[in-house]
Chain A
Amino acid sequence: MTPAPADWAEASAEQIAESVRGGKVSAEEVTRATLARADRTASRLATFLHRMPEEALASARGIDEGRSRGTTLGPLAGVPIALKDNICTRGIPTTCGSRILEGYHPPYDAHVVERLRAAGAVVVGKTNCDEFAMGSSTENSAYAPTRNPWDLARVPGGSSGGSAAAVAAREATLALGSDTGGSVRQPAAFCGVYGLKPTYGAVSRYGLVAFASSLDQIGPFARTARDTALLFNAICGRDPRDMTSRPEASPVRLEALEEGVKGLTIGIPRDILSGEGIAPAIRACFERAVAALTRSGASLRDVTLPHAKHAIATYYLVATAEASSNLARYDGVRYGLRAKDGNLTTMYEATRGAGFGREVKRRILLGTYALSAGYYDAYYLRAQKVRTLIRRDFSEALEKTDALLFPVTPTTAFGIGEKVDDPLSMYLNDIFSVPASLAGVPALSFPAGFDEAGLPIGLQLAGRPFQEETLLRVARAYEATDDAAARRPAIAKEGS
């Protein structure tokens, strides 16, 4: 076992849980160390919408008391975790980064929150995100834009930017985000941490505030491949409250992650890599990673994803259509913001007008249009057909390969404000993350290197449904050859 770290905020979840279970450190001590980090950096980074130091310490003490009474502690005992603010927490504000839910306290915990509490994790706060998870930079948060810990003038990615940044800055050991078209993977890449989008149906969505129901998945952020697995294991599995959750979802065997890549075939989707717009540093990083994996014993195979080029268009029809319906409930009648205004219709208009930000409104309009009489067949239905083709592309490409390797994003983190007025260029940032979402397959963003400006580069592995284990095994093999995941942003070194 690794010796006790100088600062528990730097420790892996695995080490914390083992140490807490073994009595080498108290959950309270770990929690205090992590809270102290966040005290120094969270306000500058705007990682959290709601911090919960009192609750975190109380739950840490509960774990320590449990240990002293001889209770068996869970696999995440004492591990500080941050939750994206679109995951419902009982009695704790859950705003989805939106004004329309300002002050809203859900009366129930999401399935994943129940599972995390049962596993002994300590929730330290609710993280900032693009409003209703709609965005790629966390600039669409109604409260504040989160900053990238590697360069405070840049975005952390989005929509789960707060979660990614919190893990990178050591304000939490682990975090949960949600990924609809890349909202876990892209910020993970921008912040230099691991981010997994599980197979659609692997993790219950009960308690995840819906953006696009057929795409949304809750996914883990962590600083090591093994921690990613640990967190995924804590939350995956069938939940009777989510009819789209699947019994096939099974935990990753941690020992399997150490088996290396010998015997595995990595598919390289050359067609999607041939396009313009991939930053040279990312291309170079990709080639280095391919070489490293080959050296470790993986074989390569070229594959194609011929319909992936339609993924963005398809995604922005399917996701916005579902969103237009999912967001209809924010009407000012039962909870959240209600504008005081005249009759029912004007109350609706004023509430939604004041409560939703520009990007949310844009997507509601797009989705409403796509579902409208006379347009449904041309847009929504056709998008569903293309989606089927994209799904088929993945299943064919993965027939003779174990995982596909490609970038997460065409560029590293862009500057705050750089793309806010250009939604199309913002949408195109998701070009590599959206296909796996539409296909419903698992996809992992892992830290693979840095560009010339010292910004993290993430690469993506996509696999067969419910084969999260394979993706993490490849990423773990890469981790053993490269220090990208081990590097810390300067802000995380302050005071330590």
Chain B
Amino acid sequence: MTEAARPVADDPKAAVRARYEPVIGLEVHAQLKTESKIFCSCSTRFGAAANTQVCPVCLGLPGVLPVLNERAVRFAVMTGLAVGSSIRLRSVLARKNYFYPDLPKGYQISQYDRPLCEGGAIEILAEGERKRIGLVRIHLEEDAGKSLHPEGKEGVSTTRVDLNRAGVPLIEIVSEPDLRSGAEAYHYLTKLKQILVYLDVCDGNMEEGSLRCDANVSVRLRGAKEYGTKTEIKNLNSFRYVEKAIAYEIDRQIARIEGGERVVQETLLWDSARNVAETMRSKEEAHDYRYFPEPDLLPLDLTESWIEGIRESLPELPDALRERLVREQGIPEYDAEVLTETRSLATYYEEVAARSGQPKLASNWIMTEVNAVRNKTGQPIESFPIDAARLGDLVGMIAGEKISGKIAKTVFERMLEDPDGPAAIVQKHGLLPIDDEAALRTLAREVLAANPGPAAEFRAGKEKTFAFLVGQAMKQSRGRAHPEKLQAALRAVLAEEG
């Protein structure tokens, strides 16, 4: 069965959409977490007062020269190695020439035909299936400054330029056109960010602009060999906007084609307030960047041994860590995927599992209870109030049947506020389980005395009432009664009193 013949829901739009194959490639700019800028020693710290982290070099004053920051090269190579790129022993920095007020030199130092890293791939999990998204290249470049457009007096428009960001090191990661939907783009970005954060080369913060993404989108009839005309969407400030904008653009392009029009090659700006993409510039207005090798910097020559040194010092990456957790802890792949969201969450998990000796139970507790709280508060695991040792102890107590799962949830909630260990909290709040037979019989008698009606019904043969009586008893014990033993005690008392 061909894709086009695949049955679709009765949504007519979906039927049309199914005849087309979207083709998407992403260009991601990631800010490298270096202390200083790529060509000078100015700080890269975010949020300083405008134009306070600048010097003659990053201001592009006459006569200055760039000096390449070795750490930026190292971070770019780490990223390349992590995604399986080949690293060029000789790469070339190049000037990309264009005029803009926030571009102090009138050119951006970037890389063109000889980038630092080529090839490689990122594996994503999309709709339950693993898919490799190829990479074209990863290259080094400098960031531009920021243009600010404050409200002018009486409609006078002014532009202010903050050059703190000018010269901050970036890598641009260019994917192959291997993505097929906005959702895949979302997964790709999530995975890319995860890798960058694991490597500790980028903080992955989209709000502060540490990660920026442009999307190239085209559509073609399924089975077609040629690509359709593509458009580029810019101003995508969150992964969700990327997903939405791509979906929007796919529909727009299909609608044009279906309407007998052609897709025009252009650059679009995403308007997240109105959920539309609008033309920024057409192909005719496209810049001729006049790239040429940067004469102020010699070709960037690396040695095999330097690269190998970096390869050996790479941290464990999410895919490897996930596979190791599955192998060593015996937890399902899905759990491992969730637990490796960040390196610190995985470390937290490994500690809880080790302390409790309960890999799967530990995973359940983190995925449900811990993540439920974190989703509400937005806390990273590093600042979660219950550290791995205390959660490990709690999980251990559940497994050792020292407390029930239900009590454990109460204890967990108290632990969010109370720095004591779970055992101490159980003591302090009288949450110890009641499993002593005499005590359970006393409890049963009290419950039957308080509920003569239902007791009588049960004795008259209405078995259903038993559940009600168990519930009442459990309630009175504040959940502490051992469930099986409580039932046994109830039946025994009902029998002897009957």
> Which A residues form the contact surface with B (CB < 8 A)?
86-88, 94, 96, 101, 104, 106-108, 110, 205-210, 212-214, 240-244, 321-322, 324-325, 327-329, 331, 333-335, 344, 348, 368, 371-373, 376, 380
B63 contacts across to A, CB distance below 8 A: 86-88, 94, 106, 110, 205-210
Q: Are B65 and A243 in contact (CB under 8 A)?
A: yes
Most central of B95, B288, B295, B296 by chain A CB within 10 Å: B295
- Report A365 CB to chain B, min CB distance, Å: 13
Is B468 located at the chain interface by the 8 A CB criterion? no
- For the complex, is B68 an interface residue (Cβ under 8 Å from A)? yes
Contact of A96 among B62, B104, B107 (CB under 8 A): B62
Indicate whether B297 reaches chain A with its CB closer than 8 angstroms.
yes
Query: Which 10 pairs across A and B sit closest by C-beta, in order of nearness?
Result: A328-B106, A213-B295, A371-B290, A214-B295, A209-B62, A88-B63, A207-B63, A209-B63, A333-B101, A373-B288
- Per the 8 Å Cβ criterion, residues 285-300 of B in contact with A are 288, 290-292, 295-298
Tell me if B56 is interfacial: C-beta within 8 Å of chain A.
yes
Main secondary structure of the interface of B (DSSP, over half): loop
Interchain CB contact (< 8 A) of B101 among A213, A327, A344, A368: A344
B264 sits at the interface (CB 8 A): no
The answer to whether B62 and A106 have CB atoms under 8 Å apart is: yes
24 contacts between A and B (CB under 8 A): A94-B63, A106-B62, A108-B56, A110-B63, A209-B63, A212-B295, A213-B295, A213-B296, A214-B295, A240-B67, A242-B65, A242-B67, A243-B65, A243-B66, A243-B298, A244-B297, A325-B290, A327-B106, A329-B106, A331-B101, A331-B106, A344-B101, A344-B159, A371-B97
Kindly state the separation between the CA atoms of A334 and B297 in the bound complex, as whole angstroms: 24
Given the known A-B contacts A88-B62, A371-B97, are A243 and B67 also in contact in the complex, defined by CB atoms under 8 Å?
yes
Whole-angstrom distance between the alpha carbons of A348 and B107 in the complex? 15
Distance of A208 Cα from B295 Cα, bound (Å) = 14
1/0 contact trace for B245-269 toward A, CB 8 Å?
0000000000000000000000000
A329 and B292 contact, Cβ closer than 8 Å, known pairs A108-B56, A334-B104, A348-B99? no
> Majority SS of interface residues in chain A?
loop
CB-CB under 8 A from A242, the residues of chain B are 65, 67
Chain A residue with the shortest CB-CB distance to B95? A325
Does B298 contact A106, Cβ atoms closer than 8 Å? no
Chain B residues lying within 8 Å of A206, measured Cβ to Cβ, are 63-65
Chain B residue nearest to A239 (CB atoms) is B65
Measured between alpha carbons, how far is A206 from B61 in the docked complex, in Å?
11
Encode B53-92 as 1/0 by CB contact (under 8 A) with A: 0001001111111111000000000000000000000000
Binding site for A on B (CB under 8 A): 56, 59-68, 95, 97, 99, 101, 104-107, 159, 161, 288, 290-292, 295-298
Selected contact of B97 from candidates A94, A210, A328, CB within 8 Å = A328
Nearest CB of chain A from residue B283's CB, rounded to whole Å: 13
Interface contacts beyond A106-B62, A206-B63, A324-B97: sample of 13 additional A-B pairs, CB < 8 Å, sorted by A? A86-B63, A94-B62, A101-B62, A106-B61, A106-B63, A242-B67, A322-B295, A325-B292, A334-B104, A368-B290, A371-B291, A372-B288, A372-B290
Chain B CB within 10 A, most for which of A207, A214, A328: A328
| Most A-side CB within 10 Å, residue of B105, B106, B107 | B106
Docked pose: A327 CA to B61 CA in angstroms? 11
Per a CB cutoff under 8 Å, which of A328, A335, A372 touches B107? A328
The residue in B65, B66, B296 that gathers the most chain A C-beta atoms within 10 A of its C-beta is B65
Q: Is the CB of A335 within 8 A of B61?
A: yes
Please give the distance in Å from B178's CB to the nearest CB on chain A: 27
Q: How far is the CA of A328 from the CA of B101 in the complex (A)?
A: 11
Distance in Å from the Cβ of A20 to the closest Cβ of chain B?
Answer: 30
When distances are taken between beta carbons in the complex, the residues of chain B under 8 Å from A376 are 290, 292
A299 to B63, CA, bound (A): 42
- Docked-complex contact B65 and A241, CB < 8 angstroms: yes
- Least distance between B487 CB and chain A CB atoms (Å): 81
Contact A331 B295 (CB under 8 A): no
Q: How far is the CB of A321 from chain B (nearest CB, A)?
A: 6
- Cα distance, A322 to B295, chains bound together (Å): 8
Taking CB atoms, residues of chain A closer than 8 Å to B64 are 206-207
Closest to A207 in B: B63
Q: Which residues of A contact B159 (CB under 8 A)?
A: 344
Q: Report whether A244 and B290 are in contact in the complex, using a CB–CB cutoff of 8 Å.
A: no
Interchain CA distance A242-B65 in the complex, whole Å? 6
A330 shortest CB reach to chain B, Å:
8
Asked if A334 and B60 sit within 8 Å, CB to CB, the answer is: yes
Nearest chain-B residue to A212 (Cβ)?
Answer: B295
Find the residue from B62, B67, B292, B297 having the highest chain A CB count within 10 A.
B62
> Are the CB atoms of A321 and B61 closer together than 8 Å?
no
Which residue among B56, B64, B297, B298 has the maximum number of chain A CB atoms within 10 Å of its CB?
A: B64
| A110, B56: Cα distance in complex, Å | 11
Q: Write the chain B residue with the least CB distance to A367.
A: B290
A101 to nearest B CB, angstroms?
7
Docked CA distance A373–B291 (Å)? 9
Select from chain B the residue with minimum beta-carbon distance to A327.
B106
Q: How far is the CA of A82 from the CA of B292 in the complex (A)?
A: 35
**Cα distance A96–B62 in the bound complex, in angstroms:** 10
User: Which residues of chain A come closer than 8 Å to B161, judged between CB atoms?
Assistant: 333-334
Which chain B residues border A110 with CB–CB below 8 Å?
63
CA A140 – CA B346 in complex, angstroms?
68
Q: How far is the CA of A334 from the CA of B60 in the complex (A)?
A: 9
